Structure 1
Amino acid sequence: MFVYACRKCRYTDLYEEFDIAYCPRCGGTMISLGVSSADWNRLDTEEIYDLICDKTGPCPEESASAPVSGSKAHDEPWEEPIPEPVQSYRQEVPARGYTYKEYMESKVPTKRRIGPGAVLASVVLLCIVFAVNAGYRQRAKMIVPAADEKIFDAAAPQRVEYEFENCLYYDSMTEKERNIYQVYYDLVMHKDDADYSRKIFMPLSEFEEIEEQIDLVFYAMLRDHPEFFYISVSDSRLPMVESSADDEGILLEFRLGPAELNEDEMIAKFDNAVYNFMRSIDKNASASEIELQIHDKLNETVSYDRELLELGLYGPDLAHTAYGALVENSRGAKHRAVCDGYAQAYQYLLRQAGICAAQVTGKADTPEGTLWGDAYHAWNIVKLDDEWYEVDCCWDDLEIDKLQDFYLKREIKNLEDKYFYVTHHWFNRTTEEMKHLPASERTRFFIPGYESFNFIEETSHERWIRPDEDWYRSFEYLNDRLPIANGTKYGL
């Protein structure tokens, strides 16, 4: 097998030496890099990057701004996800994650932007990067001046076909919303072309029907695609819309803002991390077994980013993304994420196995109230055999391995059934169960020399935020499209 790369987006994949292939991402032509898969594994990150640039054409210049983190490139070569099936296994490693509230300052757009604030406008409590759109009340409305000429004569319709498999929000949209969704997706596929834009013409009556949803569709598209983490944490990447109109219709031109991050290097690291993760997942197993494998391996891999909480760091940190969970946060700490980082990584990894999942946003409380005040939280909804389940990987990730008492830690792990239940308490639950999930005696430990104790307490997860929140409008739009989880077949 030989490594091929796409001329347009530089996506890499393995094919036979003289295959004719087209990119599954953007439809571009795949060309051979002249390197076998065995030789590819011996290259370091810099050699891989230079080779791809040499074969596909000049690569974009590095951003003048500093990278998100000061870490070095990933030590392992960049390989695309074509893993061979291996033996199924389950690893159980713990760590409790709580959340706290943080806000991002809104910024006045210089052009008619789809979302007027910082990216996703309000990252709440280390939880909600893809959900939010704070400052939407201040967003620039598209005021359309009258045109002297018929605008639709000047712009032929553009259409690019993409397949959106296991994308919950796309599946829930109207045809008009899907057209906007495809435009946003296409912009990201052409992110390296600074001059690329997409135009849509529609009658004024149709525009009035969808005007209020145009920015919301963008956030729904991001929710469906955790691999676009570099868009969600970059304020400059927010799309812009320019418009012109006459008495017959309106012409909208969409552009993606300029890049600030070293996106290609970050994408390479992310794809490599996903590939290495999925290599140990037995994809010949059933969907429910694969879901469990990914849940356990994710919690073995990721640690909750407590530094973000302790330092009170505000802003669009990569800990809120799948990149933070699978690669590193914005401070270069490996595999550090908060609740929405866990949720987005879980969603994306499940999609690699053909399982549909999405992020849920809401409140998560204990009887004493949320530990960090007015906190919001993120978890997942997962589809198995046409039924939906709710999963909270973050709260299932208990920090038992960090116990200083070696004897206690050993005894807890030796009680395999109880250890399994305590690290899967929020796994495959119904929506109603999550609203009020009591403590269970099956997670209570009785260890000689210690008083009995229970890691789990009564909790509630609810799809709710205060209606006076600035980003309530986007929450309502996204939340209304989430199905209710009623599945019981694979529940614990």
Structure 2
Amino acid sequence: MRTKRSHTKGIILFLMICFIVGYFGYRFIENREIKINNDEVLKVFQQDQHSHYFYSKLNEKDQDTYRRLYYAFVDFKTSIPLEEKKVEKVSKIFQNVLDDHPEIYYVNSEYQYIDGKQFMFIPKFDMKQDKVKTTNRAVAEKTKEVLKTASQQNDDVDKAKVLYDYIVETVEYKEHSELDQKMTSALLDQQSVCAGYARAYQYLLHQVNIPCAYITGDTIIETEDKPGYDGHAWNMLEVNGDYYYSDPTWGDADDEDMEHTCYGYFLMNSTDMLKIYQPDGAYEKTSSDDDLYFESVDSYMKSYDENIISHAIQLGLKNKTRIAEIKCANQAVYNRVKKNLESSYLGYRLLTKNGCWSDQSLYYCIDELRVIELYY
């Protein structure tokens, strides 16, 4: 009995010590003023040469908060003092940092803070620093071949396509997988949701020096498997001096036996993007209404021309997908192509002419984008 009472007293004493240390430690942090080396913060921030779209949208004071948060995350600081004291503003800038930096996958979206003499931001790390280094090496090893291939392309459109194809072809859409909001779920586990698809694509584009932003919002069209006004994530790319939008999640078409890469969602202009999505925050307008990808493969129909469809069919035979994709420049051309597919056996005629008609041949239309796909 004496031993038990002694043991109980020891536990109580230990708990009291923990409480006292914790309480006075908290009061110490709350009341002392911590100095920060702004030159060091700036130096660390400038070492990252990738694009920082949301950072560019902030005023000078908010950029200072952004840089301090970034510094804390990459240097694994247990806390960082901020000049900004409004929690709502800090939370928004915190999200800006995460959205600009897919490689900071190890920082939890939740944080703590102490609002005392200074506002102290206390990050929560999902991984220890050694584990992050190991994971980064695994990502580098996994992606080195596709990044090498992308880097060898002649222009940014082809680089972006190589990486778009890679994400679509290697990642399986699967909800509730571990860390499915992080790029590592797509690049390492190869199972993710839209957030993982978009962050992984953003990360790869940054590696080949193509500016890319992670955009969130809602889808505004409703299909059988895509409900309207559903939360979603996609990407904004800066290519050839203009802004375009890609959605590798929806590009990963999985329609029964017709799994394929859909390029209707690759390098959309802002006009087409806004027909499908409603961004939550900042985005840029595309200055041109032309289509970068479909024009590059001669599958962009500005006026009705069946030779363009035949060309797309031949491309599908050459790349062995047996899928032809065309995009129409305006609604009148699109309506004519669609009408002829429905009532004039256009698909049958052209597929027969190109020697690839079968009883399983069919077509699919994406009305919002004026894109038509032939499967044969």
TM-score by length of 1: 0.47
2:266 match: 427
- Paired with 1:239 and 1:302, the residues of 2 have a C-alpha distance of 30
Secondary structure in 1 matching 2:165: helix
Cα deviation digits, residues 453-488 of structure 1 (max 9, x gap): 32343348xxxxxxxxxxxxxxxxxxxxxxxxxxxx
Residue matched to 2:363: 454
Answer yes or no: is the 8 Å Cα contact 2:54–2:100 preserved in 1.
yes
Classify the secondary structure of the residue corresponding to 2:88.
helix
Q: Which residue in the other structure is 1:255 paired with?
A: 122
Distance in 2 between residues matched to 1:390 and 1:355, nearest whole Å: 13
Q: CA deviation at 1:258?
A: 4.9
2:236 is equivalent to residue 381 of structure 1: yes
2:220–2:229 CA contact under 8 A, matched in 1: no
Q: How far apart in 1 are the matches of 2:227 and 2:236?
A: 24
What is the match of residue 37 of structure 2? 158
Alignment map for 1:261-340 (pairs within 5 Å): 262-283=131-152, 285-305=154-174, 308=175, 313=176, 317-328=178-189, 335-340=190-195
Q: Is the 8 A contact 1:321 1:344 kept in 2?
A: yes
Give the number of the structure whose alpha-carbon radius of gyration is greater: 2
Q: What's the offset of the Cα at 1:428?
A: 1.5
Q: Say whether the 8 Å CA contact 1:325–1:337 is kept in structure 2.
A: yes
Whether 2:238 is the aligned partner of 1:353: answer no
Query: Which of residues 164, 168, 187 is equivalent to 2:72?
Result: 187
Residues 146-202 of structure 1: CA deviation (Å, up to 9, x unaligned): x998x6xx44342222225311011111111111111211121222x6xx43224x4
Cα RMSD of the aligned pairs, angstroms, is 3.5
**5 Å matches for 1:74-473?**
154-159=33-38, 160-161=41-42, 162-163=45-46, 164=48, 165-191=50-76, 196-200=78-82, 202=83, 207=84, 211-231=87-107, 234=108, 238-245=110-117, 251-259=118-126, 262-283=131-152, 285-305=154-174, 308=175, 313=176, 317-328=178-189, 335-366=190-221, 368=223, 371-372=226-227, 375-399=230-254, 403=257, 423-436=262-275, 441=337, 446=348, 448-450=357-359, 453-459=362-368
For residue 382 of structure 1, report the CA deviation from its aligned partner: 0.7
Tell me, in whole angstroms, the C-alpha distance in 1 between the residues paired with 2:95 and 2:362: 43
For structure 2, list consecutive stretches of 5 or more residues without a partner in the other structure. 1-26, 277-326, 329-333, 342-346, 352-356, 370-376
Higher relative strand content: 2
TM-score where L is the length of structure 2: 0.60
| SS in structure 2 of the partner of residue 299 of structure 1 | helix
Q: By how many angstroms is 1:365 displaced?
A: 4.6
- Partner residue in 2 for 1:18: none
What is the identity, as a one-letter code, of the residue corresponding to 1:344? R
Shift of 1:224: 0.5
Instruction: Determine helix, strand or coil for the equivalent of 1:285.
Output: coil
Partners of 1:367 and 1:257 lie apart in 2 by 37
User: Which range is displaced more, 447-456 or 339-348?
Assistant: 447-456
Counterpart Cα distance in 1 of 2:187 and 2:30: 53
Alignment check: 8 A CA contact 1:187 1:255 kept? no
Residue ranges of structure 1 left out of the alignment (5+ in a row): 1-144, 246-250, 329-334, 404-408, 413-418, 461-492
3-state SS of paired residue (1:455): strand
What are the residue-to-residue correspondences of 1:474-489 with 2, within 5 Å? none
Q: Does the Cα contact within 8 Å between 1:288 and 1:384 map onto a contact in 2?
A: yes
Deviation per residue, 1:290-318 (Å, 9 max, x gap): 1122112222222222xx2xxxx4xx842
Distance 1:336 1:322 in 2: 10
Amino acid at match of 2:157: S
Provide closer, same or farther for how the CA distance between residues 158 and 275 of structure 1 changes in structure 2, counting only shifts above 3 A: same
* Contact residue 180 and residue 193 of structure 2 kept, 8 A: yes
| Matched position secondary structure for 1:378 | strand
Quick one: which amino acid aligns to residue 221 of structure 1?
V
Contact 2:217 2:232 (C-alpha < 8 Å) held by counterparts:
yes
In the aligned structure 2, how far is the partner of 1:148 from the partner of 1:183? 19
CA-CA distance at 1:342 after TM superposition: 1.3
Q: Secondary structure at the match of 1:379?
A: strand
**Cα distance between partner residues in 2 of 1:185 and 1:304:** 30
Contact 2:219 2:228 in 1 (8 A): no
Deviations 1:94-127 (CA, angstroms, capped at 9, x unpaired): xxxxxxxxxxxxxxxxxxxxxxxxxxxxxxxxxx
Q: In the alignment, is the contact (CA less than 8 A) between 1:436 and 1:458 conserved in 2?
A: no
Aligned to 2:344: none
Read off the aligned partner of 1:296 and give its amino acid letter. D
Alpha-carbon contact 1:364-1:459 (below 8 Å) kept = no
Paired with 1:303 and 1:321, the residues of 2 have a C-alpha distance of 14
